[in-house]
Amino acid sequence: MEKLFIISNESIFNHEGSFYCDNIEIKSTPEGLNNKFEVHLIGRTSKKIRSHKINLNKIKIYSNLISYVFGIFNSLRAQNAKYLVVTITPFTFLACVIINIFKKKPIVYLISDGYKQYKIILGFFGLSAYHLMFSLVSKISILIGCREHLLRNKKGETVAPSQISSQWLTNRSEGEINKIKLLYVGRIRKEKGVFSLLELIKDNKSNLSLSILGAEKNSSNPIVQENVHIHELETNEKNLIKFYDEHSIFVLPSYTEGHPMALLESLSRLRPIIIFKEIEHVIGNKKGIFIAERNSHSLIKTINHIKENYKNIHQDMKENTLPTKEQFLKNFSKIISSTD
C-alpha cells in the first residue's frame, strides 16, 4: 500500500499512547484516507487536553521546530510515499521546502484563506509573510483547495470537504422559533468572529440566547455573558446533531472561511444560517443562508426576517444538495493517487 505522510501544524495531545486534536478535519480526513493509503500523521505536541481521538496507528508529534524538522527528514526515507501538507504555516512552509529539496513534490491542501487569517491576526506583517510563503509554495507544490478562490489563479484541484453521513439527513424537524436560540459551533478564536458576535448580542438578553459549542478543555479564557451558554467541543455525532436540532438559527460570524463544516451540518439539519459579508462566498447555490451587516441592528433585522418566514425557509432548504463525507474522501483519494 502506498504511504501518505500528512503533515500538519495541528496541536495534538498524547495521553498514554492515544492522540487527540480539536480540529475534526485533522481527525476525520487522515482516518478516511487510511482506507486507501498507509497514512502517517505528523503534527505538533500539545500540552493541553484535546477533544477528538485520532484513530490512526502511525502518528508522530514534535514539541519544537528543530524536532519537527528532523521528523520531516526522517519521513523522507520512506519508499513509495506521497506528502500531503495541510494549510500553509511557518512550520508546514518549512516542510514543503525540505520535501522539495529532496526532489519530491508536496501536495498542499488549502482549507482556509491564509491571506485573510494572517491579516486579521498579525495585520500587514501577517499578510506580507503569508504572501511570501504562498508564492513559493505554489511554485514547488501541487495545490488542492476546498474552494477555487483559495488557489489564487494557480493551477490546482478543488474538493468539497464534508462530515455529513446518512445520520445527518434523517429524522429532521422544523425546530422551535418562538424564542430565538442561536448556535455557533467552532473554535473560539479572534479570526472566527466569536467575540464580535458576543458584542452584537449583549444588549438583547431578553430576546435571544446564544450557545457556543467549541470551548477547549480547561480553557483559561472563560466567556461570561448572561445570554450566552458555553459548551466544550462535542465528539459524539448523535449529541452534535441534537445540539443543532435544539436551536433555531445557526450563526457563522467568521471573518474568513474556506469550506466550513458547521455550515453543512446546519444545512443538513434544516437550520437557517446567518453569516456576515466577509464570507458571502460560502453561499454558492445553497438555500437558507442569510447575510447580515456586522452590527446589532442588521443582525436583529435578519433574525426577525428568518423568524417571520421560518416555515417557507425550512421548505426551501430541503432542496439543497449537500456533499457527503463518502463523496469527499473518494474524490480526495483519487486526486492524491493521480499526482506524480
Res 218: pLDDT: 56
Q: What pTM, to 2 d.p., does this model score?
A: 0.83
How many alpha carbons lie under 13 Å from residue 211 in its C-beta half-sphere? 20
From 78, 39, 42, select the one nearest 57 (Cα to Cα): 39
Res 206: pLDDT: 64
CA distance between the termini of the chain: 16
pLDDT per residue rounded down to tens, the chain (340 residues): 899 999 999 999 999 999 999 888 999 999 999 999 999 999 999 998 888 999 999 999 999 999 999 999 999 999 889 999 999 999 999 999 999 999 999 999 999 888 888 888 888 898 999 999 999 999 999 999 988 889 999 999 999 999 999 999 999 987 778 888 999 998 888 888 899 999 898 877 667 889 999 876 655 556 778 888 888 888 889 999 999 999 999 999 998 887 888 999 999 999 999 999 999 988 989 999 999 999 999 999 999 999 999 999 999 999 999 999 999 999 999 999 998 7
Phi and psi based region of residue 115 (left: phi greater than 0; alpha: psi -120 to 50; beta: remaining): alpha
Res 182: pLDDT: 94
Q: 3-class DSSP state for residue 157?
A: strand
Domains assigned to the chain: 3-162+326-338 (3.40.50.2000), 166-317 (3.40.50.2000)
Neighbours of 320 (CB within 10 A): 16
From 163, 113, 192, select the one nearest 266 (Cα to Cα): 163
Residue 185 to residue 180: CA distance in whole angstroms = 16
From 27, 29, 33, select the one nearest 50 (Cα to Cα): 27
Res 259: pLDDT: 80
Res 220: pLDDT: 53
Radius of gyration of the chain measured on its C-alpha atoms: 20
Residue 107 to residue 338: CA distance in whole angstroms = 11
Residues 162, 330 contacting (CB under 8 angstroms): no
Res 38: pLDDT: 97
Quickly tell me which residue has 528532523 as its cell.
Answer: 70
From 179, 227, 231, select the one nearest 200 (Cα to Cα): 227
Looking at residue 218, the DSSP 8-state letter turns out to be T
